[in-house]
Structure 1
């Protein structure tokens, strides 16, 4: 591809200063069809998540730990989607999808920060559901505003430290070419494969982050739901059991979607098939899931529906 590689000479080797994103498709006609589709998805993501945040902030009945965590999740999804979608949309209108070294590093850092923070937050939300079901009489005392704020801060800091360590270790490597990333965003495993220097430490950093953040969060979620299941079995009334299960359905759906797509990437058996599969799955967990999360938590949520009715009936100008 002419003009697709920009290099700077440094000693006896050339250093890549620009990467090329392969994008979703090489077909110009398909790219023009995909543009309005993904633009619509991005706008809906922003509207639904911002709308949910405003609704929770405006209705005092929703000022509980569960909905506090939900506002944080919506904010993360906005940032997560925004780190990828605008660049992807602009690339759909371009023939050459070049991205500078710094821009690529920045994009990965922001995306990884939000993705790993979301893993931690899903674990926090699972613990919140366990306390609500397993220890209902102590729920208010345990899930005090101070503790909720500290758990969210830890989630953000964990994602920040992990993403920063991955970004620094990867983008300090030498890249001599080729410089083509077989995806529509800067995907770290593919970037590592382009390096011409020893990237063992970077790979270990990536694996360590996956174990500590990804597997660690999933373990907390599964452990929490193990205790939740034990608590539900102790509930004597069928109505109480159904109500307890209902409070967990939305969170379980979000966890299943998020971790299910991530695992399908890492557990692909044949590398030759993984390239296309990864691109399709990446669209789902980077673009689609941030749009679906507010819908999952709102669709069958009676409290959200009641809050909407109260907001509609509230006279104009009344706080």
Structure 2
């Protein structure tokens, strides 16, 4: 793997994204959990329990290569991405709930992500000559650093200089998207000799996982009595993952490019699928509202 991508581009991309997340957060976003406990609890159960179970079922059903299987589990354990806020806004979701879920889940992921990844490494037992493949305690501390320190710096910046935070929000979002695109291209280029085989193995799994994530994120809250706007927010939060975090852990901490391939492929397919899904549920909810409006005699 190109050392510049490993040592500079990936950590920089993640730092920009997480700093941008921090610029959009306040302490109030964490406090909001107490006011919407049902929606937050349901979304977190879907994110932390159902998604890893779905990913596990898919990789077992498709009999993936062990490293790709671990990469899918790493992706499933990653928290929602900041782009979920934009998609939620576009499709009439509760953006404040998205912000809260991203904040809370990013903190929880510091614990759950290493647990799920290490479980996958033990279960699928990918070949690893020196036995170093795993998130030991020192690497867990690095996960903590790359996830939470930039967020804390962003929140501190917003608190001290809210005007700057407002002005920087859009450029940081654009920069995050641009760097993410470069990282995905770099990851695919690094594995260009094997990319056709990987696409054949992981492409359908990534698409299925994205569709199932969005569907579970919407239908489970709705079936449990969560209002439609909050269900849309949950769907986008659960379906749009922080693929940069998954790639950073795979390449920079676990030193394995193949583990990053599922996240790179998912980073490409999740946006058009989320857009199509958002359009579909918005169209369906509008049709239901029209049917519910009584016709004047």
TM-score w.r.t. length of structure 2: 0.28
Q: Could you say which structure has the larger radius of gyration? A: 1
Looking at secondary structure, tell me which structure has more strand per residue: 1
The structure whose RCO (Cα within 8 Å, separation 6+) is larger is 2
TM-score w.r.t. length of structure 1: 0.26
Looking at secondary structure, tell me which structure has more helix per residue: 2
